[in-house]
Structure 1
Amino acid sequence: MNSSHRQLLTSLASLPVKEFKTHSQKVNPGDVFVCRQGLTWDSHLSAEDAIARGACGVIANRPLDLSVPCMVTSSHSTSISLINQFYAYPQDKIKHIGVTGTNGKTTVAYCLNQLLNLKGKSAYTGTLGSSFDDAYYPLDNTTPDAITLLNLFHAMEKCGVSHHVMEVSSHALSQDRVTHIDFDIVIITNIGSDHLDYHKHREDYIQAKLRLIDRLKPGGVAIANLDDEQSLSVMERCRSRCEVITFSCSDESADLYAGTVRSTCSGSQFSLNYQGKEYQVTSSLPFLFNVENSLAIIASMLGLGMPIKEVLALFESMLPAPGRSEVYPLSNGATVILDYAHNYDSLSNLYRNVLEHKTGKIVTVIGVTGERLADADDIGELCFEHSDQLVLTTDNPLGVNQEDLFKALTSKLPLNSNKASACIEDRLLAIKVAVTEIQSGDVLLLCGKGHEKYQYITSNKNDAKPYVGDLDALKIAVEAIGLQVVTGLTESEEPADLTVK
């Protein structure tokens, strides 16, 4: 460490630092504001605003004339390194499990963290926010920026967290948000096609996902799905680099093979073949695609060194992740499935499984985010094809005109069809309309938002608009016509029940 860095650390140590913040609007008294010259905004221009909100210091990449100490580094990357040194590398005291994939990240990460908390103290970071030590921290992105992560790791270390399970998005991997983390285990659930608005080409998306394997520490373990079409690419990337535990529902050569699978809307059972022995497994996760997620969770616990019998004993107690294939029977005999499915692959999986069990008609409520405008035509066509009635609505437009999203969603729909479809911008109203259409034996799919209680109407993710949430919207809609939700399988697990920090 050179003398200038030592001096910067001394300056930081003299301040009553609570956290480091990169958005001036989120600064609280005692925080240090970290400036960055971005592609569209130079946050050095927000330093005065941060000070007005209580910032006790500023880290900048050029000298600023301010009323609080200003520590100048040569780059934003150097600023991150400075903060890492100030916190004394808290991430190194925790075992990290990284989960990536087109689908299944949240279910695998959330449920694995749930089980690890039965053995000790674990943390989760991902689409549902960050949670540990009975507290919930809302996040703007599935995988936060490096400075937000360092704040979280510092808090985890103080709470005695031993394991951290995190969803790692393709955006985060391509933007090097997790380069300061050495993972003990990485899980590749599957690699389909998504976020092509950002990655432009599918190969770029695939390569971004594979970069998580490069973040494994020496002696680390990779968990690979042999049923995924990209499994050969995954195995090749792992070759001579790490131990690999494979799982499959179709390939008996996998380390973990699920045979005799029985899946329903309320759970699944399968025989697990592992190291020459067969075990009967019951899972609370519905549908066949969640058998793959179950195998990934079990493989990860084995990768951490737990004996198989101990793993399966813990697994039997697992509850589904909020907003992921949650099943809510109604008092009139209809069934509502609340699911975060929002891209083509996840919706295809959901329909494939629901069609196996349906006895009546399927009604779907769905929108697309502004980021998926390019995929909206295919998504609209898919949902129309598999639904008896389709209600299109709002799902985080992110600055894109909702009418343009509706036009894209309906662009491939046939002009003359007996199927009913509607475009209703108000999501609560859309759910109310859909609920009136279902009777005994019918299935209503509420897709896209899961348990999110906000809408990103503009492109500014710091300006989220409140939304009642699909579950509460369902309850309002059901009660309005004199029905009841019979049960909520994971309602008690909703992160909003935790203390928000």
Structure 2
Amino acid sequence: MNSSHQKVLTSLASLPVKEFKTHSQKVKSGDVFVCRQGLTWDSHLSAEDAVARGACGVIANRPLDLAVPCLVTPSHSTSVSLINQYYSYPQDKIKHIGVTGTNGKTTVAYCLNQLLNLKGKSAYTGTLGSSFDDVYYPLDNTTPDAITLLNLFHAMEQRDVSHHVMEVSSHALSQDRVTHIDFDIVIITNIGSDHLDYHKHREDYIQAKLRLIDRLKPGGVAIVNLDDEQSLSVIERCRSRCEVITFSCTDVTADLFAAKIRSACCGSQFSLVYQGAEYQVVSGLPFRFNIENSLAIIASMLGLGMPINEVLPIFETMQPAPGRSEVYPLSNGATVILDYAHNYDSLKKLYRNVLEHKTGKVVTVIGVTGERLADAPDIGELCFEHSDQLVLTTDNPLGVNQDDLFKALTSKLPLSSNKPSACIEDRLLAIKVAIAELQSGDVLLLCGKGHEKYQYITSNKNEAKPYVGDLDAVKMASETIAFQLVTGLSESAESADLTVK
């Protein structure tokens, strides 16, 4: 080993290290702050702030005059490698299952982890944070940076975690956040179109997703959806690299084929054809698109070596992920469906399934995040077309003026229409207004936020604004409003912008 690298490791061993942190504002006493020259910010400039917050040391890529030891490495990637060595490569002691796709990542990863915990000790990392051994760790991104992951892997190792299921975003694959992980299984749910603000071209987005296959261990397993239009590209990438297990709702040649599908808002049933035998399966996941997610989960457990007669009984105990097609019935006979759907593809699938089962009107409450400003016109048009009533509201503006988001969302809508529509910036009020209008048989689609209890108003994700959360907002509205417009709410609604501009 290079003598300078050994010196850094020796110095780290002499410090009372609790964790390694890359954001100075999150540093606590005993942490080591790791500097990086980023695209928009050089965190070497935050080193003194980190020391003031209690950092016991700093790893930097240039000498800094600080009141604590400054350990200098030639690059951030070297810093990551040395931290990995300091932790003794904790990720190598765990079986990793990586899940990527335009839609379905959270449902598949969360539910698979839920089932693996029935057989042993498993961890989940993704949009819902990271959790294992009954401990929850909030995260800023779906897939954390490499150093945050190493902290998590070290904690997992200490708690004897044997399996780790993680969502792997296209951003993370493009930015090499998971290059130090060798996956035992990778799942590609589907590849549509998303995050083109970052990837610029759809082909770049597709190639970013496919990079997860390159992270498979020799002898690893890829779970592939034959119903996805990119399935051939996925299978070609897998050729000569790994075992492939396919699933489908339309192609009888798939390894796992779902037939005789019956789906509803409260769950689904289907016949699973596997290795020449047919099994009856009941799933707690609603709607047809979740049949694909169910097949991916079952295929993953088979890929881990579990026999089908052990997989299916525990699969049927599975509960949906929070905020993912989460059904909340109201006492007046209406239904609220909370769903994280926030891009065009996921919303289109959601509407297709809801319209198939609706008996009353469909009301939608939705906003778009600041990073999806370019997608807002198409999203607004889609929601208007498939809703009997549309309420546009706030969803993580990320520094973009909310009026500009409203203008984009309504830019493709007809100038005049008898269909009730509203633009209400206060998300809690928007939900109250929508619920007050519901009658028996109606469905309210509450889209975009899912489980989240914060709003990113500014572009700084370290400055989250507390938000009650969509589920609690629904509970509050259903408790305080007897499903009729009361005087106070009517006045509030009238004072809001209830016509599409």
Partner of 1:494: none
- 1:106-145 matched pairs, under 5 angstroms: 106-145=106-145
TM-score (norm 1): 0.96
**Structure 2 residue 404 is the aligned partner of structure 1 residue 421:** no
**Structure 2 residue 217 is the aligned partner of structure 1 residue 217:** yes
Q: Which has the higher contact order (CA 8 A, sep 6+)?
A: 1
Partner of 2:267: 267
Rounded to whole Å, the distance in 2 between the matches of 1:443 and 1:66 is 59
**Equivalent residues of 2:35, 2:60 under 8 A apart:** yes
Rounded to whole Å, the distance in 2 between the matches of 1:72 and 1:326 is 49
Partner of 1:479: 479
Code of the residue aligned with 1:237 in structure 2: it is R
Q: Shift in Å at residue 78 of structure 1?
A: 0.3
- 1:223-262 matched pairs, under 5 angstroms: 223-262=223-262
SS at match of 1:272: strand
Partner of 2:297: 297
Percentage of pairs with the same residue: 89
**Equivalent residues of 1:262, 1:268 under 8 A apart:** yes
**Equivalent residues of 1:264, 1:357 under 8 A apart:** yes
Partner of 1:80: 80
**Equivalent residues of 1:222, 1:242 under 8 A apart:** yes
Rounded to whole Å, the distance in 1 between the matches of 2:258 and 2:153 is 36
**Structure 2 residue 198 is the aligned partner of structure 1 residue 198:** yes
Rounded to whole Å, the distance in 1 between the matches of 2:143 and 2:100 is 10
**Structure 2 residue 402 is the aligned partner of structure 1 residue 402:** yes
Code of the residue aligned with 1:5 in structure 2: it is H
Cα deviation, 1:274-301, whole Å, max 9, x if unaligned, reads 0000000000000000000000000000
**Structure 2 residue 157 is the aligned partner of structure 1 residue 177:** no
**Equivalent residues of 1:61, 1:75 under 8 A apart:** yes
Rounded to whole Å, the distance in 1 between the matches of 2:129 and 2:406 is 29
Partner of 2:146: 146
TM-score (norm 2): 0.96
Distance 1:28 1:100, change over 3 A: same
- Larger mean Cα displacement after TM superposition, 18-27 or 37-46: 37-46
Q: Shift in Å at residue 6 of structure 1?
A: 1.1
Partner of 1:381: 381
> What is the Cα-based RMSD across aligned positions, in Å?
0.8
Q: Shift in Å at residue 7 of structure 1?
A: 1.1
SS at match of 1:46: helix
**Structure 2 residue 464 is the aligned partner of structure 1 residue 456:** no
Cα deviation, 1:436-459, whole Å, max 9, x if unaligned, reads 111001000000001100000000
Code of the residue aligned with 2:447 in structure 1: it is C
Partner of 2:437: 437
- Count of aligned pairs between the two proteins: 484
Partner of 1:307: 307
Rounded to whole Å, the distance in 1 between the matches of 2:454 and 2:481 is 25
Partner of 1:56: 56
**Equivalent residues of 1:331, 1:483 under 8 A apart:** no
Q: Shift in Å at residue 329 of structure 1?
A: 1.0
Cα deviation, 1:72-112, whole Å, max 9, x if unaligned, reads 00000000001000000000000000000000000000000
**Equivalent residues of 2:143, 2:172 under 8 A apart:** yes
SS at match of 1:141: coil
Stretches of structure 2 that go unaligned for 5 or more consecutive residues are 485-501
SS at match of 1:346: helix
**Equivalent residues of 2:436, 2:482 under 8 A apart:** no
Partner of 1:208: 208
SS at match of 1:281: strand
Rounded to whole Å, the distance in 1 between the matches of 2:2 and 2:79 is 15
SS at match of 1:124: strand
Cα deviation, 1:14-42, whole Å, max 9, x if unaligned, reads 00000000000000000000001111111
Runs of 4+ displaced beyond 2 Å: none
Partner of 1:285: 285
Rounded to whole Å, the distance in 2 between the matches of 1:475 and 1:328 is 9
Code of the residue aligned with 2:96 in structure 1: it is H
Code of the residue aligned with 1:187 in structure 2: it is I
**Equivalent residues of 2:19, 2:32 under 8 A apart:** yes
Rounded to whole Å, the distance in 1 between the matches of 2:424 and 2:379 is 17
Q: Shift in Å at residue 483 of structure 1?
A: 5.7
